[in-house]
Structure 1
Amino acid sequence: MSGSFLPKPFSHAYEIDPKFSKSAVYFSCEFAIDQIFKIYSGGLGFLAGSHMRSAAALRQNLCGIGMLWTYGYYDQARGEEREMAVQFRKKQYAFLQDTGIKFQVPVHGHPVWVKAMFLPGDIFGTVPMFFLTTDLEENDHLSRAITHRLYDNDPLRRIAQYIILGAGGARLLEELGVDPEVWHLNEAHGLSAAFRVFERTGSVDEVKKRFVFTTHTPEEAGNEKHDFKLLHDFTFFGNTPMDTVRGITGIDGEVFNHSLAALRLSHLSNAVSKLHGDVSRKMWEHYPNICPITHVTNAQNARFWKDKGIEGSRLEGDIETLKTRKRELKAQLFQTVANQTGKLFNPDALTIVWARRFAGYKRPDLITRDIRLFRSLVNNNERPVQIIWAGKPYP
């Protein structure tokens, strides 16, 4: 279609809106586009997936680059004693198209073959998207395993994954013959792309002109860090010498802070809520030469996530129909709960659900910290309250 910065046959399936004609690429380690496409783990992916849907609805000149995880995050099951069981099952996606594009990316000085698969926008209503895999016959086992598991527990493999996403994504754009005006990093996982651009342009100003950065982590200690020399030995910085990396990122010492480097190599960053913006600006205020940090509140694509029955009733002011539809959906949820736990929930009772990726910093126990208040809630027979905890921890 007219206005797309991507070459055929990968161009956008819609006419680009002139308001959004600026070309952009969005790097993310995970995308929650649809439940059948299991390349995500949590909120970072849901934000990215909805971003791809909304960008298409707005007819933006944007594409996405992610990773094709052979085994996804993992499949959560139950063992014989109903304990959580972790299963890694190989995934296959017939809706992805082979681009025919293969190239090599150095990882720890070793050339690794990378193939790009393509997701046309009309499959799930997204912008055009590319997914990178190293699980190829041309590679040895270690290289193939780079794109096996999302957020692999092996820290060295995680570094390799970030190289494939960032430097590999940048290399893909070179293969496509495009250089988008905006390079958007959803967290700093794809940061190695910035060093690829620096090598190509020889100018840190050219890097900053292109890059923007979404930061998610509300605690400085939670931002990913690695040994500087380890990253250099892994070819994370490409062919850029360590002294040059220190010069353009302003990071001295032995530890490389990925988020700090992203803040210094971008011209703009955004937090994911107004409060998070305040927290982030305060968290980084003691570090010089970082880009401005604004905020864009996290959201989800309404067209995909809203139930049509509930939304229609809401717009018509039909409260009774809305309540009936909500009760139907609760009953469906409670069937799933009963199937997994053997517990029957009351669809007419107020139900509080905590359902997230299970991690301590997400505070799943928050509602129980005032134990007397908690007991008064769950033991009130006149106004019954029932609570569901659900989550997926790191395997």
Structure 2
Amino acid sequence: DTAVPENDPVGRWITGRLYEADAETRLAQYVLLGVGGVRALRALGIEPGVLHLNEGHAALAPLELASGALRNGEPLAQALASARARTVFTTHTPVPAGNDCYPAGAVTRATGRLARELSYDQDDLLALGRTHPEDSSEPFGVTQAALRSSRSANAVSRRHEGVARDMWSALWPGWPLERVPIGHVTNGVHVPTWIGTPMRELLDRHLEEDWIANTADPRTWRGVDRIADEELWAVRGRQRAELVSFIRARSVADRLGRGDVREYVEAAARAFDENVLTLGFARRVATYKRLDLLTRDPEETLALLGGDRPVQVVLAGKAHPRDDEAKRALQRLFGLKGARIIAERVVFLDDYDLATAARLVRGCDVWLNLPRPPLEASGTSGMKSVMNGGLQVSVLDGWWAEAYDGENGWALPGEVDADPDGQDERDTAALHELMREEVLPAFYGRGVHGLPEAWLQRMRASLRSLGPRFSATRMLAEYAAGPYHNTP
């Protein structure tokens, strides 16, 4: 936080806003995070063996790692060689808005003091961030700078690796695409943080005693086959009921806060049913996430919500201040709220935060993920849902492209399409058909013991196949064996 008395009035505003539109203020944030972050570590007596840059926000950190050599007069490229040996980089998104570029003048002004302090040539820094270093008209890209300043680079899923290689291949002119040095370490989630208490207690009873310390071992999860149908379904129902209770209280407060009409507020107190299939869609409300697939065919949506095998949908998230299309998608959703069934079966929770996210991934039966391929780098909300027995209905993009096996959830096509409107029409139809023909029958169908046997079979398949592959334990082991390995 730069809002401290020791800073001048301009400096105090640097961290005043997370999504800062002003280029020079944004660049000042990068200097603070990258250079200031390394200096803060040193002030604490910490000299990192490996500096792991996540996205380009800390792309200037290698400058500080190389500060000694720069002050001794070494050229920037030479000084960065030693820093590069200690730096690894992870790219988290192919979306252009997540790979910022800035005019040369803005970069020069924002980093002028740093250049004087470290005695490097500003033109050398600008070249570091250009895809074509010799092109002085090209803006400075923080992702390009991070890629050039790191000994290792990785994407965050297997499919994202191919997307990232294609996206950044021009930094290695003449290289075959398969040799572009960007690998992948698929994301994972911290199981103890995201698993609900009922599910944790159930797995404690049926898995090995130390299962929570061995989540990356496939043998750990085989014990889910020993769980009785009645127990597994009871836990699913308990976590759904906890979510319904939370949604009713929270949505009343949200609708009052938004100044909604009385009937709509009163409907919130009756919202949701503990026995109805519950779908979750909660994340950043970005255009490429395609929230509008849920409202593109209002008649089909209303039929899905109000049929004899109904669904209820909880939505939460925040749109980027500059993502106008995402904000319009939210407006279209609220435009349907006049229908009684919408008021009682669809809620949008304001002020989305980690606590709300935890409640949703624990209580939802189905996690929806509808990105436009190939823009989903990974996604982690669905992984959190998995650990709670939730099933996925997802486009085959990001993590789901390598996770789906035909038995552990449901999938929508993941092909890249040059006709986005046509793709949205087809995917909307495919989503509704999938819900009608497969998801609803599995949830509401009952076997001889009065339980949804097909649903429980998929729950077990999901836990067994995805639990070990998408835990943070597995992810960290791969980083240790890969990007972090052979640190000087």
RMSD: 2.6
Give the equivalent residue in structure 2 for 1:323.
Answer: 233
Task: Specify the code of the residue in structure 2 equivalent to 1:320.
Answer: E
> TM-score, normalization: structure 1?
0.60
Give the equivalent residue in structure 2 for 1:148.
Answer: 16
Distance 1:218 1:264, change over 3 A: same
Structure 2 unpaired stretches of 5+: 71-78, 207-225, 253-267, 322-488
Give the equivalent residue in structure 2 for 1:26.
Answer: none
Q: CA deviation at 1:368?
A: 4.2
1:229, 1:254 within 8 Å by CA — same for their partners in 2?
Answer: no
Q: Distance in 1 between matches of 2:188 and 2:293?
A: 23
Match of 2:91 among 209, 215, 220: 215
Range with greater deviation from structure 2 (384-393 or 217-226): 217-226
1:190 aligns with 2:55: no
2:155, 2:161 within 8 Å by CA — same for their partners in 1?
Answer: yes
Q: Please give the secondary structure, in 2, of the residue aligned with 1:184.
A: strand
Give the equivalent residue in structure 2 for 1:172.
Answer: 40
Give the equivalent residue in structure 2 for 1:9.
Answer: none
Q: CA deviation at 1:173?
A: 2.9
Match of 1:266 among 130, 134, 150: 150
Q: Distance in 1 between matches of 2:113 and 2:50?
A: 20
Q: Distance in 2 between matches of 1:179 and 1:234?
A: 26
1:136 aligns with 2:4: yes
Distance 1:275 1:366, change over 3 A: farther
Q: Distance in 2 between matches of 1:370 and 1:228?
A: 46
Q: Distance in 2 between matches of 1:328 and 1:354?
A: 20
Match of 1:338 among 226, 236, 248: 248
Range with greater deviation from structure 2 (364-373 or 255-264): 364-373
Q: Distance in 2 between matches of 1:215 and 1:248?
A: 17
Distance 1:268 1:369, change over 3 A: farther
Q: Distance in 2 between matches of 1:188 and 1:305?
A: 27
1:333-390 Cα distance to aligned partner (Å, 9 max, x none): 2233223241510111111111112222222123444666545533431x21111222
Give the equivalent residue in structure 2 for 1:388.
Answer: 314
Q: Distance in 1 between matches of 2:304 and 2:237?
A: 21
Q: Distance in 2 between matches of 1:274 and 1:372?
A: 37
What is the percentage of aligned positions where both structures have the same residue? 37
1:361 aligns with 2:288: yes
1:275 aligns with 2:159: yes
Structure number with higher strand proportion: 1
Task: Name which one, 1 or 2, has greater alpha-carbon Rg.
Answer: 2
1:195, 1:238 within 8 Å by CA — same for their partners in 2?
Answer: no
Give the equivalent residue in structure 1 for 2:200.
Answer: 311
Structure number with higher helix proportion: 2
Distance 1:294 1:371, change over 3 A: farther
Q: CA deviation at 1:332?
A: 2.6
Q: CA deviation at 1:241?
A: 1.8
1:170, 1:196 within 8 Å by CA — same for their partners in 2?
Answer: yes
Question: 1:15-54 to 2 correspondence within 5 Å?
Answer: none
1:355, 1:391 within 8 Å by CA — same for their partners in 2?
Answer: yes
Q: Distance in 1 between matches of 2:90 and 2:297?
A: 34
Give the equivalent residue in structure 1 for 2:279.
Answer: 352
1:149-196 Cα distance to aligned partner (Å, 9 max, x none): 323344432222111111101212332344322110111101121222
Match of 2:190 among 293, 296, 301: 301
Q: Distance in 2 between matches of 1:185 and 1:153?
A: 22
> TM-score, normalization: structure 2?
0.49
Distance 1:236 1:225, change over 3 A: farther
1:192, 1:236 within 8 Å by CA — same for their partners in 2?
Answer: no
Q: How many residues align?
A: 262
Distance 1:322 1:329, change over 3 A: same
Q: Distance in 1 between matches of 2:141 and 2:127?
A: 14
Of structures 1 and 2, the one with the larger relative CO (CA 8 A, separation 6+) is 2
Q: CA deviation at 1:206?
A: 1.0
1:309, 1:322 within 8 Å by CA — same for their partners in 2?
Answer: no
1:114-171 Cα distance to aligned partner (Å, 9 max, x none): xxxxxxxxxxxxxxxxxxx322111123212222332334443222211111110121
Give the equivalent residue in structure 1 for 2:122.
Answer: 242
Structure 1 unpaired stretches of 5+: 1-132
